[in-house]
């Protein structure tokens, strides 16, 4: 019974879903060197237009500030083994991103751009290897279209502008999986590619733990088993794969366990196994990643329905275009989606490793249907209206993005010109709606250019506006500049990354459990700027009421002013007093807020 089921599954996979031979026989690629160079340049240009502009916006709490603080601690202490946060070992994640961020700080200085560059280069590198390695698997044109599709995945690109681990993990898992398949794709296996795959997996394990191995190895094994051909891997090859992992990963894991005996339980049990099975604070339903994929790949996700039709249609003309190499990409994307869907702990960025494979699938679909439509007549019928429809959707999206930026941060120099440009685009699309050129390859190119424009506005304008308006540190810096004589006291709220905005010498931090020490410090101080957890603000206000009046700044929910009470007249020093011939501080604060609003 089991053998019969296995036979049917393999038959369905090889005969029904992916019956065509491999897409690119070894050495059979007709792109000239000049054309390949243009492909590299175009991918870099599109990616950098979205990734690089205006990277200096404030770090977003809590993840970016926390990771920056750990990297700064490593740089200061020269302890590259033990990630430290608030004087305690931070054992939730391995150190690869902290190392890269610390190196970036060392080379470029302590600033937001340096903090984000490792993620930026990870996203850019993922796009480039999607083309560079993908062309060995699906051909140059399909790989180039896949790289462009990846560069037009808004969620993937925006994640590349954050100091988080997932962009680096996506780069390393993509590198591991594609090089691993290239190693076994032909009859004569190529050991050099296989070793590169093992090194990439090892670096992935140093980035986010064993999940890197879990994401890469099973689809390689499953693909070889389903096909039953030369792509099946042997024990000797997996030995060559594991050796680099042992040489690269094990030294750090052994070293950190030597300094922190609780590491094994904390990292492997609490932050890997239990997060997978119990979900911590991020439990979501099984279908959570279905809308996340469509949202994170927008606007490239507008092509996902067509890609699904292309993959699962039973029409012979479509089946004849689906190769076994395409089946590998489906296997990889499906496994990543399934793994994270089964996991109890779900966050939107976890799904990033699946997006490069989905982008390559879209690239193959476009190559086979839009650019080679003569090979299968009628295949592109449902895609003919795509450029004009997508252009209208993108125009509307651009208007929403600009409107949101205007509403949150006010009008800027680019607001009106960008709106006028989008109105012109919409008018041109409507005028050419029924023209044959509206479905041409040039129309597809124009739609892609419009997508780049919209993503650039979202990443370089809207994202920094949101980060600035919600940043506690920006508000604190503003208050510190207005009241340079006041000390800044963090109580309960951790000052991670504060040194990127404010002189750390002005900052004092008290954890929640040191309430008595905090109260004693405040009692001996003049007026202060206080950053406190808002859920405990009533108890904090009561604790210091004998010496200071704690007032809301009205700028941020965690930002307060502690104004010393004048014991002579039993009132705060903001009110007129015989012993204080100065402008009331309360009036100054009110005018400052009014100026900020204006």
Highest mean pLDDT among 173-187, 406-420, 535-549: 173-187
- 447 and 424 in a common domain: yes
Count of helix runs (H) and strand runs (E) in the chain: 26, 8
Total domain count, the chain: 3
- 424 and 327 in a common domain: no
**What pLDDT shows up at residue 89?**
92
Mean pLDDT, to the nearest integer, of 321-336? 95
Nearest to 549 by CA among 566, 532, 524: 566
- 294 and 358 in a common domain: yes
**What pLDDT shows up at residue 598?**
38
Tokens of 506: 């002005």
End residue of a domain, out of 366, 383, 400 = 383
- 423 and 478 in a common domain: no
3-class DSSP state for residue 138?
coil
pLDDT per residue as tens digits for the range 159-217: 999 999 999 999 999 999 999 999 998 877 888 999 999 999 999 999 999 999 999 99
- 153 and 36 in a common domain: yes
Q: What is the band of 593 on the pLDDT scale with cuts at 50, 70, 90?
A: very low
Q: What is the band of 537 on the pLDDT scale with cuts at 50, 70, 90?
A: confident
Q: Is residue 303 a contact partner of residue 311, using CB atoms and an 8 Å limit?
A: no
- 394 and 297 in a common domain: no
Nearest to 466 by CA among 172, 117, 161, 194: 161
- 197 and 268 in a common domain: yes
**What pLDDT shows up at residue 502?**
85
What average pLDDT does the chain have?
A: 88
Count the neighbouring beta carbons within 10 Å of the beta carbon of residue 268.
Answer: 14
- 297 and 194 in a common domain: yes
Q: What is the band of 375 on the pLDDT scale with cuts at 50, 70, 90?
A: very low
Count the neighbouring beta carbons within 10 Å of the beta carbon of residue 312.
Answer: 13
Please give the residue range of the domain that contains residue 402: 386-466
Among 209-213, 231-235, 484-488, the minimum mean pLDDT is found in: 231-235
- 74 and 193 in a common domain: yes
Name the percent of the chain in helix, strand, coil, to the closest 5. 65, 5, 25
- 405 and 361 in a common domain: no
- 484 and 353 in a common domain: no
- 422 and 569 in a common domain: no
Q: Is residue 175 a contact partner of residue 357, using CB atoms and an 8 Å limit?
A: no
End residue of a domain, out of 431, 447, 466 = 466
**What pLDDT shows up at residue 29?**
63
End-to-end CA distance of the chain: 75
Tokens of 93: 């994640």
3-class DSSP state for residue 103?
helix
End residue of a domain, out of 466, 489, 509 = 466
């Amino acid at each position: 019974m089991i053998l019969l089921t296995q036979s049917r599954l393999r038959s369905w996979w090889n005969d029904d879903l992916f019956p065509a031979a491999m897409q690119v026989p070894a050495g059979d690629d007709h792109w000239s060197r000049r054309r390949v160079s243009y492909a590299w340049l175009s991918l870099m240009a599109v990616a950098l237009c979205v990734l690089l502009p205006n990277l200096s916006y404030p770090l977003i709490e809590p993840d970016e500030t926390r990771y920056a603080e750990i990297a700064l601690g490593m740089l200061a202490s020269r302890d590259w083994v033990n990630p430290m946060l608030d004087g305690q070992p931070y054992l939730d994640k391995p150190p690869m991103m902290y190392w890269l961020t610390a190196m970036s700080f060392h080379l470029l200085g302590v600033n937001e751009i340096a903090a984000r560059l490792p993620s930026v280069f990870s996203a850019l590198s993922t796009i480039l290897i999607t083309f560079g390695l993908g062309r060995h698997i699906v051909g140059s044109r399909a790989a180039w279209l896949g790289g462009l599709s990846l560069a037009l995945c808004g969620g993937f690109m925006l994640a590349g502008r954050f100091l988080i681990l997932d962009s680096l993990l996506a780069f390393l898992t993509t590198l591991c999986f594609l090089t691993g398949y290239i190693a076994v794709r032909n009859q004569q296996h190529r050991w050099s590619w296989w070793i590169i795959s093992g090194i990439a997996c090892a670096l992935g394990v140093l980035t986010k733990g064993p999940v890197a191995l879990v994401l890469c190895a099973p689809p390689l094994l499953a693909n070889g088993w389903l096909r039953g051909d030369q792509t099946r891997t042997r024990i000797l090859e997996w030995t060559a794969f594991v050796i680099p992992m042992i040489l690269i990963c094990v030294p750090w894991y052994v070293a950190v366990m030597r300094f922190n005996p609780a590491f094994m339980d904390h990292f492997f049990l609490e932050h890997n196994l239990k997060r997978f099975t119990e979900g911590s604070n991020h439990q979501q339903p099984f279908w959570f990643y279905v809308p996340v994929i469509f949202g994170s790949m927008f606007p490239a996700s507008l092509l996902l329905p067509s890609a699904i039709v292309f993959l699962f249609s039973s029409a012979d003309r479509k089946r004849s275009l689906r190769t076994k190499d395409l089946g590998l990409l489906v296997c990889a994307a499906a496994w990543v989606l399934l793994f994270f869907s089964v996991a109890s702990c779900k966050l939107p960025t976890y799904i990033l490793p699946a997006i490069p494979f989905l982008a390559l699938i879209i690239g193959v679909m476009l190559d086979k249907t839009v650019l080679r439509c003569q090979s299968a007549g009628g295949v592109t019928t449902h895609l003919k209206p795509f450029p004009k429809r997508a252009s209208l959707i993108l125009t509307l999206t651009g208007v929403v993005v600009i409107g949101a930026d205007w509403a949150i941060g006010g009008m800027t120099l680019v607001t009106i010109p960008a709106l006028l440009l989008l109105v012109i685009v919409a008018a041109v699309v409507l005028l050419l709606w029924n023209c044959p050129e509206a479905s041409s390859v040039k129309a597809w190119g124009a739609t892609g250019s419009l997508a780049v424009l919209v993503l650039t506005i979202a990443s370089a304008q809207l994202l920094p506006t949101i980060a600035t308006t919600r940043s506690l540190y920006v508000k604190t810096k503003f208050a510190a500049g207005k009241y340079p004589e006041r000390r800044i006291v963090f109580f309960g709220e951790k000052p991670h990354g504060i040194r990127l905005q404010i002189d750390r010498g002005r900052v004092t931090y008290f954890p929640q459990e040191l309430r008595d020490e905090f109260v004693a410090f405040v009692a001996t101080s003049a007026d202060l700027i206080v950053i406190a957890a808002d859920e405990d603000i009533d108890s904090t206000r009561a604790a210091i009421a004998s010496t200071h009046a704690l007032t809301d700044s009205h700028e941020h929910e965690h930002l307060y002013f502690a104004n010393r009470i004048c014991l002579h007249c039993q009132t705060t020093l903001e009110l007129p007093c015989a012993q204080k011939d100065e402008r009331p501080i309360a009036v100054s604060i009110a005018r400052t807020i009014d100026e900020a609003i204006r």
